[in-house]
């Protein structure tokens, strides 16, 4: 990228002799000799530009008369755009009468549009050198005597750019029958426009580039008119020659044809002159707006005048700017190429260009800027339409189906639908016979072929479906989907995986049709729909319901035993309009529906199937009408009674020593049911406690669900009491008894000796115990019930129980989430990880269920030990504590000590890697905690807190010297560096007194941390002194305003002495490399959008545990 030349404060003429010229040849190298320095200083001109001065006057030269009552042409451009055509017409008439004064007035307007007041003397117009004028204008800019109308925010200049462009467009149009071809007017204008476009002041380059680019656009308009007239004349001449080979008419037509050709040739030369003198330098300008306008104009020129511009000589600039470091320029280039490829006739001429740059176009689909990426994907669609990209190169694009930004996924979805599913770009693909059903079936089969690639993970399938759904009507063809699931077409046989994917597609498509999101969204706010959208959603519900009324019983009977398909089919019920069953007199089908759901509930024991079934049943009990609602509620009561009966039998069998399977699966069913509603299991409570107490070697998974269910039962009981108007003593006593029994069982697991913990209970049960205990302590926290009638419900664990609880938590935190129990239930694995344990412990402190001094330091000491998700939980806890209590010195100090003790403990084991890791964790903890005082304001407000932490740390370090002295360098020093000079002096004095009579030479390595700490404090103290002296000195010397830039900094040359573009007729690697020397795309050094391969994305999406935890916390007190 070419930099702007920096012009020194005083711009001087070159000392070499120069022959005066009457015209400017359009080469910017002519101006280079005028300036001694070519370093960039465009920004300096912007800063030094002063405000408009109404009293400023130019040279004392009489002005030409401007028509229609305006003082001069610039006034028309500034604020009277509607008068521009009339003013231009009058000006052209004046030019034809007396050219020189009119040209002077036009050039004066050009200079004033650049913001400079300068006037050429009319009688010396022909002798005036363009370079001399430009030097004078640059001097005005260097002195700050210019205005910037283009960037002005004043109301009167809002239309300045549009008016300026309109003025020059009207001027070219008005002159097309005369002055345009006199080789005087526009040659003179182009000389000055090109010269101004190559000057350091940014405003000059902006205005000159705007005018120059518009001139080419306007010239193209004239050339097209002349071209049409030439074609007409050629047809007339051909017809006349058939009649008479010679004659006056033929001679007249030949003469006219020659004139048109000469004018077109002349105007094309004018275009080339501006392109060579202006575009070839400004497309690399340091100002991205100038670069962007150049590329936008070039794209328009190629499309509107391909006979000249549709060749590699010009196309290569669009290819090169695909690598521009500014997103706006890259986007302009992509949009220009879109318009080119949109015209079929252009494609043959784009062959070499496409071959050279198509891979870069594919790369831009993953651009760091989302808008560029979306446009690039549309461009790739154009390339595919013309079959210019091999299918083998599209693999990276398909990975974007599961990328993060929804705009990119949607654009890729459109491409995949057009290219893979509808196959619009495949000319060899036979067209369907026109049967809409056949088309839907074909599209669905192709979609299933795509989903096979993601069949191992349902979340990825949801992403793909979400991307393509908007464009694929076959996904809304409910009849065709149900027909394929029921195998009604014997010619099509779906594999089991295809049927599963089709069922999932059916469910996801139904959700989309009723306005639900099927993939996580960055915006968590509730969706709002317009009236029209609500009507569309309601119509979709009706269509889905009508289709399912007929086919749902058949679907359920066919797939009743298939645990992979049943969840999707059951979930569809939650999006139907159940009122239609009553309106269409289909009550019997509704009853059949409920009976099938009940059968499915007792048929399956998997989480997904049970959860979907419970959701569907609850939906039927709340959304059905009249008698059907009563029937649904009775059916739910029957289901609960049957479940309780099965549980009684299973509990008795386990107590008798029989198999635990029935108890396990029915406890899972009860758990899923209790997540949404209270279930009357009072009669089972004592039996469950007996099983937990008395049954030896009870499976940990079974024990987990027993604990979960009685915990949920206690939670619902508490919720009932708190929401009732009158609370009886009996209900309180009953709840407290159940709670205490549950506490007793949970605390029994804490009694297992720690060394046997790994063998005694599995990680699954240990996590459940930690989470349930924390939730119960929060629910029954004393502060919740103080000064209420239910004060007896308040509970706070004793310190010994709390210590055992935390030790069990610590053990779970030390186990990596990648280390899984072989027998662990993978269905609920998201609820059984370090995040869940840390959230439960932090919740105890945040809600005040336990004293923060007892547990907060332990939790905070693990801040940096277990990855970013656990760190976020701890950070949230620290913020919560600081809101309630500003003085966190004691908590922070204890946390740092805990981390250091862990280091000292492993130091004696001679495990160097573990001790190094513990030391790093301690240092990282100190760094993160000190970060809460990083800003100057926070540091000033918290000086006392920081000082307390430092003093406490020093005291701790000297309790056992030299063993604990390492605490000074790994923890205390981070906080001490934030203290004031006086506080540092006090600490140094204190340390000097403490170590006065100590002989450090006896153990030099042990005392090394102390010496390092003291040396660091002394360096900080002296640095504070130096900074104070510097501030005092510079306060007197510093002037007002921005510091001046260093004029000795050497920048890139703006003007080089390369040959013109005529030597660059072909696109090749050397051309591109030569341009890349001037423009380095910094974005190529780093990844653009986070492109995630399917396997990596699968792992990342599988660990989205936060959302799963939110889903399971729909009942009071459930794990959060």
Give residue 728's pLDDT: 83
> Poorest-confidence range of 245-259, 632-646, 918-932, 948-962?
245-259
Q: What is the mean pLDDT of residues 656-664?
A: 90
- Preceding omega of 962 cis (within 30 degrees of 0): yes
Q: Which residues contact 424 (CB under 8 A, 6 or more apart)?
A: 385, 418
Distance CA 399, CA 393 (A): 12
Kindly report the length of the chain.
1120
Give residue 1031's pLDDT: 46
Q: Which of 247-251, 619-623, 932-936, 1049-1053 has the highest mean pLDDT?
A: 619-623
Residue 1053 DSSP SS3: coil
Query: Strand pairing partners for 781?
Result: 795
Residue 6 DSSP SS3: strand
Backbone angles phi, psi at 1045, to 5 degrees: -65, 155
Give residue 937's pLDDT: 60
Task: Give 837's Cβ-side CA count (13 Å radius).
Answer: 28
Q: Which of 486-490, 742-746, 789-793, 1021-1025 has the highest mean pLDDT?
A: 742-746
Give residue 427's pLDDT: 55
Q: Which residues contact 764 (CB under 8 A, 6 or more apart)?
A: 700, 701, 704, 821, 824, 825, 832
State percent of the chain over pLDDT 70.
Answer: 81
Which one is predicted more confidently, 360 or 787? 360
DSSP string of 863-922, one letter each residue: TTTS-HHHHHHHHHHHHHHHHH-S--HHHHHHHHHHHHHHHHHHHTTT-HHHHHHHHHHH
Give residue 1057's pLDDT: 36
pLDDT tens string 537-584: 999 999 999 999 989 999 999 999 999 999 999 999 999 999 999 888
Residue 43 pLDDT > 70: no
* Closest to 679 measured CA to CA, from 647, 650, 641: 641
Give residue 332's pLDDT: 96
Distance CA 1085, CA 901 (A): 43
Give residue 912's pLDDT: 87
Residue 382 pLDDT > 80: yes
Give pairs for 376-383: CB < 8 Å, separation 24+.
Answer: 376/334, 377/408, 377/411, 377/412, 377/414, 377/415, 378/338, 378/411, 379/334, 379/337, 379/338, 379/341, 380/415, 381/414, 381/415, 381/418, 381/419, 382/337, 382/338, 382/341, 382/342, 383/341, 383/354, 383/358
Q: Which residues contact 264 (CB under 8 A, 6 or more apart)?
A: 223, 226, 227, 230
Q: Residue 825: pLDDT band by 50, 70, 90 thresholds?
A: low
Which one is predicted more confidently, 667 or 697? 667
pLDDT tens string 465-482: 999 999 999 999 999 999
pLDDT tens string 704-723: 999 999 999 999 999 998 88
Q: What is the CA radius of gyration of the chain?
A: 40
Residue 610 DSSP SS3: helix
Alpha helices for 995-1093 (secondary structure H): 1004-1037, 1069-1076
Residue 824's Cα: distance from chain center in Å? 36
Question: What is the DSSP secondary structure assignment for residue 362, as one 8-state letter?
Answer: H
Distance CA 982, CA 986 (A): 6
Give residue 249's pLDDT: 84
Q: What is the mean pLDDT of residues 991-998?
A: 87
Give residue 724's pLDDT: 84
Give residue 225's pLDDT: 93
Distance CA 160, CA 130 (A): 26
Give residue 59's pLDDT: 39
pLDDT tens string 278-308: 999 999 999 999 999 999 999 999 999 999 9
pLDDT tens string 409-455: 999 999 999 999 988 876 555 444 445 558 899 999 999 999 998 88
Residue 1092 pLDDT > 60: no
Residue 351 pLDDT > 70: yes
Distance CA 919, CA 1052 (A): 49
Give residue 437's pLDDT: 56
Average pLDDT in the chain: 81
Residue 678 DSSP SS3: coil
Distance CA 1053, CA 278 (A): 16
Give residue 15's pLDDT: 30
Q: What is the mean pLDDT of residues 950-976?
A: 92
Distance CA 487, CA 622 (A): 33
* Closest to 955 measured CA to CA, from 871, 1042, 885, 896: 896
Q: Is 561 exposed, middle or buried (0-12, 13-18, 19+ CB in 10 A)?
A: exposed
Give residue 1026's pLDDT: 53
* Closest to 1058 measured CA to CA, from 28, 23, 285: 28
Residue 1044 pLDDT > 80: no
Residue 69 CB: number of other CB atoms within 10 A? 7
pLDDT tens string 76-128: 888 767 889 999 999 999 999 988 899 999 999 999 999 888 888 877 788 88
Q: Residue 178: pLDDT band by 50, 70, 90 thresholds?
A: confident
Q: Residue 819: pLDDT band by 50, 70, 90 thresholds?
A: low
State percent of the chain over pLDDT 90.
Answer: 53
> Poorest-confidence range of 24-33, 254-263, 731-740, 819-828?
24-33
Take residue 300 and report the two structure tokens written for it. Answer: 């328009």
Q: What is the mean pLDDT of residues 630-657?
A: 93
pTM of the model: 0.76
């Amino acid at each position: 990228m070419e930099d702007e030349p920096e012009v020194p404060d005083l711009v001087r003429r070159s000392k070499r002799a120069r022959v005066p010229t009457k015209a400017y040849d359009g080469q910017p190298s002519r101006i280079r000799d005028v300036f001694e320095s070519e370093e960039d200083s465009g920004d300096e001109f912007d800063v030094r530009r002063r405000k408009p001065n109404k009293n400023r006057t130019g040279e004392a030269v009489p002005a030409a008369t401007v028509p229609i009552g305006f003082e001069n042409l610039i006034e028309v451009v500034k604020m009277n755009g509607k008068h521009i055509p009339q003013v231009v017409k009058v000006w052209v008439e004046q030019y034809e009468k007396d050219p020189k004064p009119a040209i002077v007035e036009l050039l004066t307007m050009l200079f004033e549009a650049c913001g400079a007041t300068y006037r050429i003397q009319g009688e010396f117009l022909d002798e005036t050198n363009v370079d001399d004028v430009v030097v004078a204008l640059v001097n005005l800019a260097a002195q700050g005597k210019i205005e910037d109308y283009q960037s002005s925010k004043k109301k009167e200049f809002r239309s300045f750019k549009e008016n300026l462009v309109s003025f020059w467009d009207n001027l070219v149009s008005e002159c097309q029958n005369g002055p345009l071809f006199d080789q005087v007017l526009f040659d003179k204008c182009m000389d000055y426009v090109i010269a101004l476009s190559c000057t350091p002041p940014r405003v000059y380059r902006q205005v000159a580039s705007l005018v120059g680019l518009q001139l080419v656009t306007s010239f193209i308009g004239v050339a097209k008119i002349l071209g049409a007239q030439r074609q007409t004349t050629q047809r007339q001449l051909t017809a006349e020659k058939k009649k008479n080979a010679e004659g006056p008419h033929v001679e007249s037509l030949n003469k006219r044809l020659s004139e048109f050709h000469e004018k077109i040739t002349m105007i094309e030369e004018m275009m080339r002159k501006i392109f060579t003198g202006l575009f070839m330098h400004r497309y690399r300008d340091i100002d991205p707006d100038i670069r962007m306008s150049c590329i936008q104009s070039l794209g328009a020129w190629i499309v509107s005048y391909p006979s000249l511009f549709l060749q590699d000589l010009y196309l290569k600039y669009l290819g090169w700017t695909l690598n521009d470091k500014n997103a706006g320029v890259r986007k302009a280039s992509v949009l220009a190429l879109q318009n080119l490829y949109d015209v079929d006739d252009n494609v043959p001429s784009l062959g070499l260009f496409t071959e050279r740059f198509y891979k870069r176009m594919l790369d831009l689909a993953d651009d760091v800027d989302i808008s560029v990426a979306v446009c690039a994907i549309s461009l790739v669609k154009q390339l595919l339409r013309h079959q210019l990209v091999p299918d083998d190169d599209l693999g990276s694009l398909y990975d974007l189906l599961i990328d993060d930004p929804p705009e990119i996924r949607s654009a890729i979805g459109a491409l995949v639908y057009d290219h893979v599913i509808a196959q619009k770009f495949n000319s060899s693909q036979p067209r369907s016979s026109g049967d809409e059903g056949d088309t839907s079936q074909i599209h669905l089969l192709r979609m299933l072929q795509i989903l096979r690639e993601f069949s191992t993970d349902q979340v990825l399938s949801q992403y793909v479906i979400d991307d393509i759904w908007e464009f694929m009507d076959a996904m809304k063809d409910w009849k065709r989907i149900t027909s394929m699931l029921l195998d009604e077409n014997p010619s099509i046989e779906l594999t089991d995986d295809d049927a599963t994917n089709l069922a999932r597609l059916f469910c996801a498509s139904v959700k989309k049709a009723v306005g639900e999101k099927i993939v996580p969204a960055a915006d968590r706010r509730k969706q709002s729909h317009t009236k029209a959208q609500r009507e569309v959603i309601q119509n979709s519900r009706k269509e889905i319901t009508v289709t399912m009324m007929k086919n749902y019983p058949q679907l359920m009977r066919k797939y009743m035993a298939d645990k992979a398909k049943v969840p999707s089919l059951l979930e569809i019920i939650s999006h139907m309009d159940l009122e239609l069953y009553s309106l269409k007199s289909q009550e019997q089908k509704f009853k059949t529906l409920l009976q099938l759901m009940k059968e499915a509930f007792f048929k399956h024991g998997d989480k997904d199937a049970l959860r979907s079934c419970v959701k569907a049943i609850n939906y039927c009990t709340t959304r059905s009408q009249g008698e059907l609602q009563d029937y649904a509620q009775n059916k739910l009561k029957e289901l609960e009674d049957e479940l309780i009966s099965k549980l009684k039998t299973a509990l008795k069998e386990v107590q008798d020593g029989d198999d635990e399977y029935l108890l396990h699966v029915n406890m899972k069913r009860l758990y899923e049911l209790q997540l949404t509603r209270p279930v009357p299991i009072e009669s089972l409570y004592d039996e469950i406690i007996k099983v937990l107490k008395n049954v030896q070697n009870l499976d940990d998974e079974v024990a987990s669900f027993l604990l979960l269910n009685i915990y949920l039962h206690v939670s619902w009981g508490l919720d009932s009491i708190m929401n009732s108007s009158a609370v009886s003593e009996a209900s309180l006593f009953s709840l407290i008894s159940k709670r205490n029994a549950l506490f007793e069982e949970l605390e029994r697991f804490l009694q297992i000796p720690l060394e046997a913990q790994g063998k005694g209970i599995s990680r699954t049960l240990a996590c459940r115990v930690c989470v349930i205990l924390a939730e119960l302590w929060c629910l029954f926290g004393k502060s919740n019930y103080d000064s209420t009638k239910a004060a007896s419900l308040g509970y706070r664990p004793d310190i010994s129980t709390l210590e055992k609880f935390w030790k069990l938590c610590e053990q779970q935190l030390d186990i990596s989430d990648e280390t899984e129990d072989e027998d662990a239930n993978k269905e609920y694995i998201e609820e059984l990880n370090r995040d869940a344990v840390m959230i439960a412990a932090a919740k105890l402190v945040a809600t005040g269920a336990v004293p923060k001094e007892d547990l907060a330091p332990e939790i905070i000491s693990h801040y940096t030990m277990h990855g970013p998700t656990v760190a976020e939980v701890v950070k949230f806890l620290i913020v919560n504590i600081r809101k309630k209590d500003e003085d966190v010195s004691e908590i922070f100090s204890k946390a740092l000590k805990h981390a250091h003790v862990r280091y000292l403990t492993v130091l004696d084991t001679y495990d160097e890697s573990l001790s190094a890791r513990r030391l790093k964790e301690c240092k990282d903890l100190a760094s993160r905690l000190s970060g809460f005082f990083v800003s100057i304001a926070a540091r000033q407000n918290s000086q006392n807190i920081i000082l307390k932490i430092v003093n406490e740390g020093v005291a701790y370090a000297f309790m056992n010297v030299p063993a604990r002295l390492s605490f000074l360098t790994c923890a205390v020093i981070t906080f001490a560096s934030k203290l004031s000079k006086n506080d540092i002096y006090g600490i140094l004095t204190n340390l000097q007194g403490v170590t006065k009579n100590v002989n450090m030479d006896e153990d030099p390595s042990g005392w090394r941390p102390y010496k390092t700490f003291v040396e660091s404090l002394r360096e900080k103290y002296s640095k504070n002194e130096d900074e104070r002296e510097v501030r005092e000195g510079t306060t007197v010397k510093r002037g007002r305003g921005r510091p001046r830039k260093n004029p000795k900094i050497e920048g890139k040359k703006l003007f080089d002495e390369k040959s013109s573009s005529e030597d660059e007729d072909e696109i090749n690697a050397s051309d591109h490399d030569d341009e890349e020397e001037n423009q380095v795309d910094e974005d190529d050094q780093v990844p653009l959008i986070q492109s995630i391969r399917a396997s990596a994305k699968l792992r990342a999406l599988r660990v989205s545990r936060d959302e799963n935890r939110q889903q399971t916390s729909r009942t009071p007190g459930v794990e959060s």
